[in-house]
Amino acid sequence: MTENDTCPRVPKAMSTQHPDNAFLPHFAHGPEAIKGEDEIVEADYVFSVLGCDEQMWDYEGKGADVDVVMKLLLANPEFFRRRRLGRDVFLTLRIPNPAVEVGMQKKVEEALHNIPASFDLAQQFYTEPGPPPIFEVILPMTATAEDPLWVYQYYQKIVAGMGSTELVPGKRLAQWLGETLPKSINVIPLVEDMAGLSRIDDLVGHYLRYLEELGQGPSYLRVFLARSDPALNYGLLSAALLNKIALQRLDSLQRASGVTLYPIIGVGGVPFRGNLRPGFVDSVLEEYPSVQTFTVQSSFKFDHSPETVRREVGKLLAHCPGSPLPIDEPRAQAIVQKYTACYQEQVERLAPLVNTLAAMTPQRRDRRLHIGLFGYSRAVETSGNHATVHLPRAITFCAALYSLGVPPELLALESLTPGDLAFLREVYPHFRDDVMAAGRFANESAIKRFLGRSAWEAARDYLPEVDQEHRGVTSLIGDRIEGKYSQAWTRQLVVWAAEIRGFLG
């Protein structure tokens, strides 16, 4: 058991830095992006104004302020004395995965070595001893049980263990720098691919056995399920079904192991990435009743009034997790396989247009690495010929397709039979609602032009009254892309379309 198992509560509303917002918040200093000190202000704002109880502090693919704890405490000392960091509100680091993100490997060292420094600063701020301000880290693209074990052991043996090192004869390093606390941290595996989600009980169960063998078996573990990247790689429906399979398997593992598992799901505002936004919170809670923590991304926070956001965040905080919706896994996997094949074939056709528009889509965060650098773009292996299609990240991918009038939720619908749809009504009750929410922003001409009549025939049943202003803007964008007009004006049209929708992507 680790020292952090006594944490009195597990957060429910995790604010993240995913840049899916159409509008910039009032505190942003840049003309297009949130960056630098803005993110310190943002963290204070989501805690003290919007009511979120956790902030993900992201080292993956972007710069991260290592002095975040000190700056937060000094920015709003009255609030953080009342709501203690590490006890009432939480700061959780997302670090790069050294096994995958080779160019970011040393950022892992930076992030982990900053945890004790933050502890010392917090102890000076608070008059009474208490929990560390940071004691959990998220490891993206977790593929094996060894991935989180590397992080867990590195922190414990190298970061916390360095105090016993002798650099001067007879003198421990701790005598010079002071004791290193906390002595251990919790590692949250973030699972993002089909194989990992389908067998998540094996991955997590193996990691729990590693910890037990060390004599440090935890009483609980948080497990993070990706929702955006599975949608990018396999499509909306496959991503949702894979998440539901994973949640069912985690529930079984929890009962078998005796370790309490707290699922986190990385949902965004656009239906393709989860549809968690004001007006749809209740339906998302119904879809994923066993989830403990939901991500509150930038569009949720900044494309709606603070009063609305507080009310909807309150629903997340009031949610009491229960059992997952039961799902017939072989039946679901059969749908996933054929739907994914159809989706990937269509994505391959759309990729040149998507990548062209990606260059004209505003980036709402100041990211250090992006498309094409160190694997920060995503590659999708298409089912037919195993060719690799390079795409932008999920938010930009969605923004590009919405800007064309071809919402990605409408892809691959022709692969579904009446029997499939009957099954989905049981296991994914809001599937039709999610697709119809996207259908408001469809452009019939664009779907026929870029995907063909069969795709249009499958999609038309999901189209309510189409937003005519958005349709008009997407027609202009499509014409300008094919005519190779000025990128600057096309970029303005992309922003206009996002503002009409109320989200970027």
Per-residue model confidence as pLDDT tens digits over 441-471: 999 999 999 999 999 999 999 998 899 999 9
Strands 378-381 and 388-391, bridge-based pairing: antiparallel
Inter-residue contact 79 to 48 (CB < 8 Å):
yes
Residue 105 phi/psi, 5° resolution?
Answer: -55, -45
Q: Give domain limits for the chain.
A: 3-318, 329-501
Per-residue pLDDT 10s for the chain (505 aa) are 344 454 458 999 999 999 999 999 999 987 888 888 899 999 999 999 999 999 999 987 666 777 899 999 999 999 999 999 999 999 999 999 999 988 888 889 999 999 999 999 999 999 899 999 999 999 999 999 999 999 999 999 999 988 888 888 888 887 888 888 999 999 999 999 999 999 999 999 999 999 999 999 999 999 999 999 999 999 999 999 999 999 999 999 999 999 999 999 999 999 999 999 999 999 999 999 999 999 999 999 999 999 999 999 999 999 999 999 999 999 999 999 999 999 999 999 999 999 999 999 988 877 644 333 222 345 555 555 556 788 999 999 999 999 999 999 999 999 999 999 999 999 999 999 999 999 999 999 999 999 999 999 999 999 988 999 999 999 999 888 866 666 788 899 999 999 999 999 9
CB-based contacts of 200, cutoff 8 Å, min separation 6: 191, 223, 225, 246, 249, 250
For residue range 37-76, list pLDDT tens digits in order: 899 999 999 999 999 999 999 987 666 777 899 999 999 9
Output Rg (C-alpha) for the chain, integer angstroms.
23
The confidence score (pLDDT) of residue 35 equals 83
CA gap 181, 66 in Å, rounded: 17
Residue 384: count of CB within 10 angstroms of its CB? 9
Superfamily of domain 3-318: Phosphoenolpyruvate-binding domains (3.20.20.60)
DSSP lists the bridge partners of residue 379 as 390
In angstroms, what CA-CA distances link 417 with 239, 338, 339, 421, 459? 18, 11, 11, 6, 13
CA gap 180, 174 in Å, rounded: 7
CB-based contacts of 190, cutoff 8 Å, min separation 6: 94, 138, 139, 140, 141, 142, 224, 225, 226, 266
In angstroms, what CA-CA distances link 230 with 226, 238, 344? 7, 8, 12
